[in-house]
Amino acid sequence: MKTKKLIVLTLLALLLVPTMACGGAGEQEPTPGVTPTPGMTPTPTVTLTPTPTPTKHSELTVDNIRLCSDVRDANDYDLNSNATYARGQAVFVLFDVYGVTSTKNDGQYDIHLRVEKLAVFGPEGQEVATLRDVADVRETSPTLAASVAAWAFFGAALAGPLGEYSVEITVEDVPSGDTTIAKASFVVEDSPLAIRHLRLCSEVRDFRDYTLQPNGVYDLGDMVWVYFEVHGVSVGGAERQQELWLKVSQLNLYDPQDRLVMRVADVLSERLPYDGSAAPYLSLWLDVGEGALGGRYAVEFTLEDGLTGEAVVDTFNFTME
């Protein structure tokens, strides 16, 4: 599973740019006591425009770190108020950056930040997951303040012990080369197997990377895709070869007249390597077949943790037109 990245950076910088008046050609003013020679053109005065100079007004600082359970954009997110997560749940991190170097070019302010690393440390101080080269952010803005969005996530130490974890964020201000490090803490607690963030889609590509199907309404003959994430799953295997085992053991499809029209056993069985850097998810697809009735369908499916045998049942609905 690939690791996506979600960090929201709000950049504030007070900028001062030197200004110089440009001189132009004009009539030469007589020097006191000297009479200009008639018919001579005075030599124009040339004023050079300086190369834009980066401006920095305070020490680079990361502040206002927010731990979230979901982030849709820079201003739309679900704050995890008690910073407590289930095993395998994705942790989203948002924060502000101050003291950024800015350069003015053609009336625009250029900002360049790099989020070098997110490191996660377990209850005993051990480093359990690391994301490197998280984001390279370049922003051009006509104003003195710019809002810049990039993003990253990581799994909440699925394979580690329960308890308090910390995340360490390293940010570089590229023009100056300055770096700063900030930390925040969160708790991982035991939880039952659960299906979360279920979405009806027309295509699924990766973690939180899919095309939503508006209102879950499909044309007859379309493929129905469903995406969901799994919390509370266990991990087994050797220390450096850990894996999780997810199974969809049963799927039932009911037509608009509430008749059972499809029953599938052993839908999928996925043994997935796990390194602590991502959250587990699955996707399923359905083809109701040609000649199917239009209307509202219902699906019931069973998810199992292959290592423990724990199971959970969930349902969803979609419409064919």
Look at the block and give the residue holding tokens 């050609």. 25
Angle at 132 between CA 127 and CA 138, to 5 degrees: 145
CA 118 to CA 131: how far, in whole Å?
A: 5
| Whole-number pLDDT of residue 219 | 94
Those residues whose C-beta lies under 8 Å from the C-beta of residue 53, and which sit 6 or more positions away, are 17, 18, 103
| Whole-number pLDDT of residue 146 | 39
Report the sign of the C-alpha dihedral through residues 74, 78, 84, 90, in that order. Answer: negative
| Whole-number pLDDT of residue 302 | 98
Those residues whose C-beta lies under 8 Å from the C-beta of residue 320, and which sit 6 or more positions away, are 218, 219, 220, 222, 288, 292, 293, 294, 295, 297
Burial of 287 (0-12, 13-18, 19+ CB in 10 A): exposed
| Whole-number pLDDT of residue 277 | 60
Residue 53 DSSP label: -
Give the helix/strand (H/E) hosting 304. Answer: strand 295-305
Residues 62-91: tens digit of each pLDDT: 888 888 888 887 788 899 999 998 877 888
CA 178 to CA 191: how far, in whole Å?
A: 41
Those residues whose C-beta lies under 8 Å from the C-beta of residue 207, and which sit 6 or more positions away, are 1, 2, 3, 4, 90, 153, 278, 279, 281
Secondary structure of residue 29 in the 3-state scheme: coil
Query: Which residue numbers in the chain have pLDDT < 70?
Result: 1-58, 141-160, 237-241, 275-278
Report the sign of the C-alpha dihedral through residues 20, 21, 27, 33, in that order. Answer: negative
| Whole-number pLDDT of residue 234 | 83
Secondary structure of residue 300 in the 3-state scheme: strand
Residue 236 DSSP label: B
| Whole-number pLDDT of residue 29 | 45
Cβ neighbours of 216 (radius 10 Å): 17
Structural domains in the chain plus CATH codes: 5-14+54-189 (2.60.40.1930), 194-320 (2.60.40)
Residues 264-314: tens digit of each pLDDT: 999 999 998 876 666 789 999 999 987 889 999 999 999 999 999 999 999
